[in-house]
Amino acid sequence: MPALICAALIVLLEGLTFAMVFPVLTDYTQELGGSVALAGLMFALVTLPKVVMNPLWGGLSERWGRRLAMALITLGTLTGSVLWALSKGVLNGVLLGGLGWLIVSRVIAGVFSAQAALSYAIASDVSTTAKRTASLGVLGAAFGLAFTVGPAVGGIVADETSAQMVGWVCAGCQGLSLLIIAFGLRETRPVGDGGRAAVETVGGAALLGRRAVRGMLGVILLMTVAYGVLIPTFKPIVEDWYDWDVRQAGWALSLFGLVGVIVQGGVVRPLSKRIDNWRLGLAGLMMMSAGLVWIAAHPSGDGVFIVAMVLLAVGTSVAMPAITSMLSHEVGEDGQGVGHGLGQSATSIGRAAGFGISGVLFAYGAAWPYWAGAAVGGIALMVLIGAGRPAGSRNDG
Structure confidence at residue 282 (pLDDT): 96
Side-chain-facing half-sphere of 239: CA atoms under 13 Å: 9
- Is 112 part of any domain? yes
Query: What confidence category does residue 387 fall into, taking pLDDT thresholds of 50, 70 and 90?
Result: confident
Question: Do residues 13 and 146 share a domain?
Answer: yes
* Residues 133, 238 within the same domain: no
Instruction: Report the C-alpha gap between 24 and 334 in whole angstroms.
Output: 40
Asked whether residue 192 is domain-assigned, the answer is no
Whether 161 and 256 map to the same domain: the answer is no
Q: What is the pLDDT of residues 260-296, one digit of tens each?
A: 888 988 888 788 888 888 999 999 999 999 999 999 9
Residue range 39-53: mean pLDDT, rounded: 81
The whole-number average pLDDT for the span 85-93 is 88
CA distance 189 to 196: 10
Give the model confidence (pLDDT) of 297-345 as tens digits. 988 888 899 999 999 999 999 999 899 889 888 887 777 777 878 888 8
DSSP letter for 186, please: P
**Residues 148 and 215 placed together within one structural domain of the fold:** no
Decide if 54 is inside a domain. Answer: yes
Q: How far is CA 11 from CA 115, 140, 173, 289, 321, in A?
A: 6, 9, 11, 27, 15
Highest mean pLDDT among 8-22, 140-154, 350-364: 8-22
The confidence score (pLDDT) of residue 171 equals: 97
Shared domain check, 384 and 295: yes
The region that residue 337 occupies, defined by phi over 0 for left and psi between -120 and 50 for alpha, beta otherwise, is alpha
Cα–Cα separations (whole angstroms), residue 53 to 9, 97, 346: 22, 27, 12
CB 19 within 8 A of CB 141: no
Same domain, 123 and 212: no
Q: How confident is the model at residue 390 (pLDDT cuts 50, 70, 90)?
A: low
Residue 222 lies in a domain: yes
Identify whether residues 208 and 165 lie together within a single domain: no
The reply to whether 174 falls in a domain is yes
Structural domain for 289, as ranges? 201-397
Q: Where residue 168 sits, what CATH number does that domain have?
A: 1.20.1250.20
User: What residue type is 230 in one-letter code?
Assistant: L
Residues 271 and 321 in one domain: yes
Beta-carbon contacts of 309 under 8 Å, excluding residues fewer than 6 positions away, are 252, 255, 256, 291, 295
Last residue of a domain, one of 142, 158, 187: 187
In a domain, 196, yes or no: no
Residue 193 lies in a domain: no
Please tell me the distance from the alpha carbon of residue 87 to that of residue 109, in angstroms, as a whole number.
Answer: 14
The whole-angstrom separation of Cα 322 and Cα 279 is: 9
The one-letter code for the residue type at 183 is: F
Residues 118 and 216 in one domain: no
Distance of CA 110 to the CA centre of its chain: 12
Percent of the chain residues topping a pLDDT of 70: 92
Element containing residue 387 per DSSP (H, E) = helix 368-387
Its pTM stands at: 0.74
Q: Is residue 194 part of a domain?
A: no
- Single residue among 187, 210, 242 that ends a domain in this structure: 187
Whether 29 and 121 share a structural domain: yes
Q: How many domains does the chain have?
A: 2
Asked if 206 and 45 touch (Cβ cutoff 8 Å), the reply is no
Do both 60 and 167 map to the same domain?
yes
Q: Which of 67-71, 200-204, 235-239, 355-359 has the highest mean pLDDT?
A: 67-71
**Which H, E and C letters describe 273-300, residue by residue?**
HHCCHHHHHHHHHHHHHHHHHHHHCCCC
Mark whether 242 and 379 lie in a shared domain. yes
Q: Which one of 164, 187, 210 terminates a domain? A: 187
